[in-house]
Amino acid sequence: MELKTVASLLGESFKRLSPTYLYLNPVLFMTEISFIIVALYMLVTKSFSLFYISVLSLIFITVWFGTFADSLAEFQAKATAKFLISVTQANLARKIMNDNSSEILIKPEELVKGDIILVNSGEIVPVDGVIIDGAAAIDESLVSGESIPVIKSVNDEVVAGSRVSSDWLKIKVVKPVGESYVSKIADMIEKTKRPKSQSEQELNLILYVLTAIFTVVIIALFVIVGALGYRPNPAILLAFYVCLLPTTIGALHEAIGISGIARMWKIRVISKSGRAIESAGDVDDVLLDKTGTITIGRREPISILPFNGIQVEDVARAAFIASLNDDTQEGKSIIRFLQNSGYTPDNLDSIITSTYEEFSAKTRKSGTYYKPSTWGGKEMRGKLHIIRKSDLNGIYLNDEIPVFKGAPDVMKKIFSVPSDFDKTVEDIAKKGNSPLIISYGDKIIGVIELKDIIKPGVKTQIESLKKMAIEPIMVTGDHPLTARNIANEVSINEVIAQAKPEDKYKKVQAEQDKGKTIAMVGDGTNDAPALARANVGLAMYQGTEVAKEAANMVDLESDPSKIIDVIMIGKQILITRGSIATFSIANDLAKYFVILPAMLSTISALSYLNILKLPPHVSVISALIYNAIIIPALIPLAIKGIGFKPDNPNKTFLKNMLIYGLGGMVLPFIAIKLIGIILMLHIVL
């Protein structure tokens, strides 16, 4: 970290010592008031001994560590935005002049829409644009998180912050610096608001109550000690007061919440609200869209099934002819499957140059009007012998044979249907898979069985959700039978099939009416109402603007399954806050039984209660030192979060109560005793 950055961080932490900032944090606010009272007492009584100076310094350090924790957590979140902007503006841009033969170096922010720039290997693309010349490997890891470079060429889009890994590119500026993809991301991070979540509000209430109780205790103790004829020392009582306050959680709970924003960025999710992050930790139900979330979002071929009297090789080669010119993901997957299965024909050139009919939502089929080089039984190494010129019944045109693939209901209306057609299609559908019918000429010859492949690791993630008592609900537009089969594969119990946009909204509303916290994913305008209604709405960056506006989170990688990671982070934040709160309160109880007996040890009848055998002054200073150093010691844990494995919430709660509750009770006794011994060996208070 640079010296300038450290200075800025320290400056911000000192600014937050202002009572106008601290009054929102009852614990640190009362600790600061204690500092002021001790300072005034020292000035009035002119008590400037090492003891009083130590008490004053340690109280101040306790408050400052709290504001430093806030500043550090927020700095980490905001530094991301500044880093993104600095990367794109770090170097000058090479603007190509109108004569196309010369270039000048200018600042990236001076580029305007329509300018042409040259970006060489190893350089950062400063703006969003489109490639007009050249081809290169592009590293987009800065914005997408994907470390593997992708090859891009003419007409491909590039975003600011991408690095050209090889060769060179000429790029036409589409969006200047201020409107670029990276600028929008940085702006979203900078403007992230963090209203307090329900759990924070409840914790704040507890802190207010504890602060009030300990305030009453100290005032009562001051009165009682005075009534017994002893002159109470305000500095000692206030030091005792500071030690009793739950300063650890009071100092760190804001940092815990802010750190969630930085953790979201690591998975390339921008949260518009810190409250949304923590709401993710309270989720009861999560609506998961099948396509793209549970499955990879495209169907993959798994088998070839010929109809009566047809050879598998014939169906495979016909499917190859119908798919070779198909640029869709499904078409490419069929060619890949056929090649891997050894069904590649020899005469690819004649297939490529044949007339191709693209798929459309209206026709629901696609294929090739193929012109074979020979007729009769010799076509394609003698394998494809099912069609003869006389069998085409008028479909044959200019020596071209229609070779198509398409949906069952469409294909059976156009082509001759074999006797086992309906049974084969039904058997595939019962398994939850999709039949893709293959025709050659005027005859249906076979079917390719397609399956929507489950995403790797999704089943494990869903099992993790269920372990945490979160119920996943699958939402899909598919047929109920297909939907049910996919759901069974990943152990999802509830399915909403053939779902319309309004069905998603009604489901979110119905579950919320039961008092549940709901999360959902969406990317379209029709998802916007449900995204806005859900407690946690995750929109895809490549989705519509309306969806992104409605949601309270945006995934820059447009990966719907990211909602599971979001829930995990939210859960981790809640566990971290709860564990540190438990540790802090246990600490306070322990310090109470350390300091009070030491203070009362001057009364001979009560001296036996001082189990640590430390003098009152040493006990108080030791407790204050411990109180101060425990805060910075826990800052890394607060920001990084407590590691956990998905498990039953009650079991996780009891486990953390045992670890952090018991640890919080025992540690102060050991630490304060050791600090006290060191003080008595080296310092005379």
**How many whole angstroms from its chain centre is CA 531?**
16
3-state secondary structure of 398: coil
Sign of the dihedral through C-alpha 266, 271, 275, 279: negative
556: closest CA among 150, 269, 184, 296? 269
Instruction: State whether residue 119 is helix, strand or coil.
Output: strand
Q: Angle at Cα 267 formed by Cα 265 and Cα 268, nearest 5°? A: 55
Sign (positive or negative) of CA dihedral 222, 226, 227, 230? positive
CB 501 within 8 A of CB 493: no
Count of beta carbons in the 10 Å neighbourhood of residue 516 = 15
DSSP, collapsed to helix, strand or coil, labels residue 606 as helix
Question: Which stretches of 514-607 are DSSP H helices?
Answer: 528-533, 545-550, 562-599
CA–CA distance, 436 with 276 (Å, rounded to integer): 43
3-state SS assignment for residue 82: helix
Pick from 501, 539, 507: which is nearest to 522 by CA? Answer: 539
State the catalytic residues: 289
Q: How far is CA 147 from CA 83, 165, 638, 659, 672, in A?
A: 18, 11, 29, 39, 49
- Calculated CA dihedral for residues 511, 514, 515, 519, nearest 10 degrees: -10
Q: How many C-beta neighbours within 10 Å does residue 670 have? A: 12
Sequence-ordered strand ranges (E) for 225-294? 269-271, 285-289
Which tokens in the block code for residue 514?
């039961």
Contact at 8 Å (CB) between 175 and 156?
no
For residue 112, the one-letter residue type is: V
Residues 136/151, Cβ–Cβ less than 8 Å: yes
Q: Using CA atoms, how far apart are residues 233 and 344, in angstroms rounded to an integer?
A: 94
**Which residues are registered as beta bridge partners of 454?**
295
Strands (E), 360-470: 365-370, 401-406, 434-440, 443-454
CA angle, residues 358, 364, 366, in degrees to nearest 5: 30
Alpha-carbon distance of 334 to 438, in angstroms, equals 12
User: For every residue of 639-676, which 3-state class applies, written as one string?
Assistant: HHCCCCCCCCHHHHHHHHHHHHHHHHHHHHHHHHHHHH
d(C-alpha 681, C-alpha 685), whole Å: 11
Number of Cβ within 10 Å of residue 69's Cβ equals: 25
Residue 676 phi/psi, 5-degree rounding, is -60, -40
